[in-house]
Structure 1
Amino acid sequence: MSLPHARTEPAAAGPRHVFDGRMPTAPGDLRMEARGITPVPEDTRYGGPGRLFTVWFAPNLTMTGVFSGTVGATLGLDFTTALAAVVLGTVLGAVPTAYLGTWGSRTGAAQMPLARLAFGRAVTVPGVLQWLSSIAWDALIGLFGGEALAQLCGWPFWAGVLVMMAGQGALGVLGYEVIHRLQTVMTFALAAAFAVLAAKLVHGAHPAATATVHGADRAGAFALTCTVALSLALSWAPYASDFSRYLPRTASRPRMFWCTLLGIGLSFVAVQALGLWGAAEFTDQTAHGVDTLLGGGALGAFGLLAIALSALCSNAMNDYSGSLALQTMGVRLPRPPAAALAAVLGFPLVLWMHAADTTARFQNVLLFVGYWIPAFVAIVIVDWAARARARGGRPVELSQETDRPQSWWPALTAFVVAFAVSVPFMNTGLYTGPAARALHGADLAYPVAFAAALLVYAPLRALRRPRTADGAAGDGVRG
């Protein structure tokens, strides 16, 4: 199995034609993008690294981040300690995401298709998980967006969610350039909206000055708060190069890295700090609770509109990347209807989450959708580094002649082992592992999975090298 090769001419009819298709040609080209997982040819790329800041900043200004920020206070941490955990976790999750994002301009490929290099045919496993995760995130974020829209317009909840899903699905269908342009505009609009919410909280909320937990319990609460923040930032890692694959190869990779890191880091820290500051006011984790907090009226309506728009921005990216994951799995569905499918499937999941204890289901889904990601990140980074080392330090550059996939079993073995090893360290409302209990609630599943995948995959990869085009054993690349 290999990545579909870049090409400049229209795709011929055949088994791969659904992976090709029309591409945006310049900033502001808002026609529908039909391009699937086929790498973007070098001579059709455009844009600069600066647009990565806005595409990663706006989608994180959601109530999902705000309500996640309340975790530290709920666990009994004081504001300063909880904020330190939020910052640490966010940075730890944003760094690998920013690094993976630099691969887009080098290869012209999206993140999950690039994982074929490490996983070979087994890429179906992370592909399925990524596709399911995109639908789960649709529900996590659409829950608040649909509720806000329903309350704003006086509709029943299901109608608000239906309109929300239709809007985000349409944006996912239109694709790359429309999403980039939307996030540029919404960076300013949503930043202003959340600034208004922050100003309201500053005068009315009183964050905890002292902790109610101490000793080992406090350390456990710190670790769990850090993990929740890390899970938010790292959740973008399997999407990372999806939104940089049209950038020219000459785009500065350090600038790409920092624009992505700052976009993710600043937005997530801001919304989680807001939730932490007003944790006592956010006991009702619903759009109605935010409306009440803002005092209703015009200000409340403004807040509800901001919640709905922020959900729209974030879920459009989920649907877009979900469509690429579906194609990576081998499903021969054109990218636009594949994006629409993710939105359609997210609708019943939102209704399920809303039907019972919303807070509990929200927190459980939030953690479970990300436990597979640390092992995935470790495996693809090890593979990338090995290929670069074989090239004398030069990064991977996809073409028709280079970079053949690895055998499937080393990556899949490491992936499964890493997840299994991390299970005892998990701490959710549905399951708390023995290691997490012994560590006073600390959820260390993410770093444990990452370390385990590194330790297992690196030696297995060295044992099993791919076959080159001429049949000789090698690293799968040729100069």
Structure 2
Amino acid sequence: MKIEQRSIEFVPHNERYGRPRRLFTVWFSSNLQVTALMVGTLGVAAGLSLAWTLVGLLVGCLLGTIFMAAHSAQGPHLGVPQMIQSRAQFGVFGAAIPLLVMVTAAVLFMAASGVLMRDPLKALLAVSDNQAILIVGALTFLIGVVGYELIHRLGAWMSLLSSVVFGAALVLILLQASAPDALHVDAGGFSMPVFNLVIAQAASWTLGYGPYVADYSRYLPADVRTRDTFWTTYFGCALGSLGMMALGATLAAVVPSALGADPGTAVANLFGPWAKAALLVVALGVIQYNVLCLYSAYMSTTTIFSGFAKVLQVRRGAKAGLMALLSILACAIAVHTQYQFDTFFADILIGQLYLLIPWSAINLVDYYVVRRGNYSIDDLYDAQGRYGRWNRKTMIVYGASIIGTVPFMKLSFFEGYLAKWIGADVSWIAGLVLAGLLYFLFHLKRPSSGQAQRLEGQTGHVNSAP
């Protein structure tokens, strides 16, 4: 298998291949791992009943996945990485602002995954805490350097392996003696703030893929139907994330002692003598998810620098070096935060919403409403082109949207006055509505690019409504 040649540049039509069904296994398998399972345990750990936790997870996953799948549908049409397209909204230089947020979120999730895999790897290998985290980082780096095709193939295999292991884990949980009482519809309690928090956490998980989901659909042929890309991505992500979160909630309710252990080890312990085999699959699943984070953190970092330096293509050596730096940074954060992990994980899960949701709303309104899929690919790479260096209107909308959601925010160290009054963090809803509406109003008089010529050769204009 060859190392991927393309990076941030437009993918020529003669190099496009594959069908949308590939997207299902990538997003199904990347969610079928214990980082998502950890999200499912949070509601039960906070005192919410299993039944209400499952309802909250269902609502959050179904809503959040709509937006990430809408981003995915842009990939085949434009043939460029997701955050390159953001230059049309923010300007070639201005796109660095949401790109920095994206890189930060991806690196933090890589760090979180390293901490989650620490104890499972120690059960498989005679290594220390820090060495286990470094092993996760090294394996993530090796797969990420190979790139796009290996990621898709790994997704297909992990869809099968993870389905077997976690499906069997669900059966073993339901066979526990404590299961009937824990699964009773009246078991546990209800709290509106916790219920809303569960919805926000589940939505945050799927919304977090938005800034890089199109990176994994950009190689598909341009004539792929938008609805096919949308629905294969949607069902893959929604089923995978909801399945794992529901498994995590069930595990926390039936086996409360699992809340005191790392989720990977808790699942593996259900398998008795087969625990190490289960741990191996658990570890591979998390590494696959980490690869998505690393690959897209690399793409976003490259996009930042290429905007200022007008770089159109990145050499393999530079790609490997940058991925190595990102992996090292994630490992350093994981080593530093591993013993205060619960608070760290909950805060980054919600914190990314505050910064990424306004970007998501701006990007989707621009693509589907304002420009209707009409973009000049050449100008996405030219600071002197039609999109300019900085789009001040968009940056004002982005900043105002973040500030406008502060009263709705709730973190371990801060709670906005509206969040206190409502009794829940609903900032993700406020961010979507505020950013989308402001961007639309600010660009009502934007001239249509519908007269742009159809894409010719490798670059030019993409002109066909999604």
Short-chain TM bin: 0.7 to 0.9
**RMSD (CA atoms):** 2.6
Q: Distance in 1 between matches of 2:33 and 2:280?
A: 12
Q: Distance in 2 between matches of 1:428 and 1:478?
A: 41
Aligned to 2:436: 454
TM-score (normalizing by structure 2): 0.87
Whether 1:414 and 2:397 are equivalent positions in the alignment is yes
**Matched letter for residue 454 of structure 1:** G
Question: In the TM superposition, what is the alpha-carbon distance from 1:466 to its structure 2 partner?
Answer: 10
Give yes or no for contact 2:17–2:220 (8 Å, CA) kept in 1: yes
TM-score (normalizing by structure 1): 0.85
CA pair 291-246 structure 1, distance change in 2 beyond 3 A: closer
1:191-340 matches, within 5 Å, as 191-204=163-176, 205=179, 206-207=182-183, 209-210=185-186, 213-214=189-190, 218-279=191-252, 280-286=256-262, 289-290=265-266, 293-294=269-270, 296=272, 298-330=273-305, 334-340=318-324
Whether 1:385 and 2:368 are equivalent positions in the alignment is yes
Aligned to 2:456: none
**Matched letter for residue 29 of structure 2:** A
1:434 aligned to 417, 437, 455, which one?
417
Aligned to 2:122: 150
Question: In the TM superposition, what is the alpha-carbon distance from 1:401 to its structure 2 partner?
Answer: 7.6
Aligned-pair identity (%): 26
Aligned to 1:45: 16
Whether 1:363 and 2:346 are equivalent positions in the alignment is yes
Structure 1 runs of 4+ aligned residues shifted over 6 Å read 464-468, 476-479
**Matched letter for residue 364 of structure 2:** I
Give yes or no for contact 1:46–1:248 (8 Å, CA) kept in 2: yes
* Worse-superposed segment, 280-289 or 59-68: 280-289
Q: Distance in 1 between matches of 2:123 and 2:214?
A: 36
SS at match of 2:414: coil
1:160 aligned to 132, 149, 154, which one?
132
Q: Distance in 2 between matches of 1:71 and 1:209?
A: 19
Aligned to 2:146: 174
Question: In the TM superposition, what is the alpha-carbon distance from 1:292 to its structure 2 partner?
Answer: 7.2
Q: Distance in 1 between matches of 2:271 and 2:227?
A: 44
Q: Distance in 1 between matches of 2:19 and 2:461?
A: 28
Question: In the TM superposition, what is the alpha-carbon distance from 1:207 to its structure 2 partner?
Answer: 3.8
Give yes or no for contact 1:78–1:208 (8 Å, CA) kept in 2: no
CA pair 136-316 structure 1, distance change in 2 beyond 3 A: same
Question: In the TM superposition, what is the alpha-carbon distance from 1:398 to its structure 2 partner?
Answer: 4.4
Q: Distance in 2 between matches of 1:103 and 1:295?
A: 42
Question: In the TM superposition, what whole-angstrom CA distance separates every residue of 1:154-178 from its partner, at most 9, and x where no partner exists?
Answer: 2111111111111111111111111
Q: Distance in 2 between matches of 1:401 and 1:385?
A: 19
Question: In the TM superposition, what is the alpha-carbon distance from 1:305 to its structure 2 partner?
Answer: 1.3
* Worse-superposed segment, 189-198 or 427-436: 427-436
Q: Distance in 2 between matches of 1:224 and 1:208?
A: 23
Aligned to 1:341: 325
Question: In the TM superposition, what is the alpha-carbon distance from 1:263 to its structure 2 partner?
Answer: 0.6
Question: In the TM superposition, what whole-angstrom CA distance separates every residue of 1:42-67 from its partner, at most 9, and x where no partner exists?
Answer: 12100000000011111112212112
1:396 aligned to 369, 374, 385, which one?
374
Question: In the TM superposition, what is the alpha-carbon distance from 1:306 to its structure 2 partner?
Answer: 2.1
Question: In the TM superposition, what is the alpha-carbon distance from 1:271 to its structure 2 partner?
Answer: 0.7
Question: In the TM superposition, what whole-angstrom CA distance separates every residue of 1:320-371 from its partner, at most 9, and x where no partner exists?
Answer: 11111001112566433322322121101111221x3322222122222332
CA pair 404-211 structure 1, distance change in 2 beyond 3 A: farther
Give yes or no for contact 1:34–1:336 (8 Å, CA) kept in 2: no
Give yes or no for contact 2:76–2:217 (8 Å, CA) kept in 1: yes
Question: In the TM superposition, what is the alpha-carbon distance from 1:118 to its structure 2 partner?
Answer: 0.8
Give yes or no for contact 1:107–1:396 (8 Å, CA) kept in 2: no
**Matched letter for residue 155 of structure 1:** V
**Matched letter for residue 37 of structure 2:** V
Aligned to 1:91: 62
**Matched letter for residue 328 of structure 1:** T
Question: In the TM superposition, what is the alpha-carbon distance from 1:211 to its structure 2 partner?
Answer: 6.1
Question: In the TM superposition, what is the alpha-carbon distance from 1:201 to its structure 2 partner?
Answer: 1.0
Question: In the TM superposition, what whole-angstrom CA distance separates every residue of 1:110-143 from its partner, at most 9, and x where no partner exists?
Answer: 1011111111121000111111111011011221
Q: Distance in 2 between matches of 1:196 and 1:478?
A: 47
**Matched letter for residue 113 of structure 1:** I
Q: Distance in 2 between matches of 1:377 and 1:368?
A: 15
Give yes or no for contact 1:104–1:241 (8 Å, CA) kept in 2: yes
Give yes or no for contact 1:52–1:259 (8 Å, CA) kept in 2: yes
Unpaired runs of 5+ residues, structure 2, are 453-459
Structure in which a larger fraction of residues adopt helix: 2
Matched length: 434
Question: In the TM superposition, what is the alpha-carbon distance from 1:36 to its structure 2 partner?
Answer: 1.6
SS at match of 2:328: helix
Whose RCO is larger (CA < 8 A, sep 6+)? 2
Q: Distance in 1 between matches of 2:29 and 2:462?
A: 40
Q: Distance in 2 between matches of 1:90 and 1:113?
A: 26
CA pair 388-210 structure 1, distance change in 2 beyond 3 A: same
**Matched letter for residue 290 of structure 2:** N
**Matched letter for residue 304 of structure 1:** L
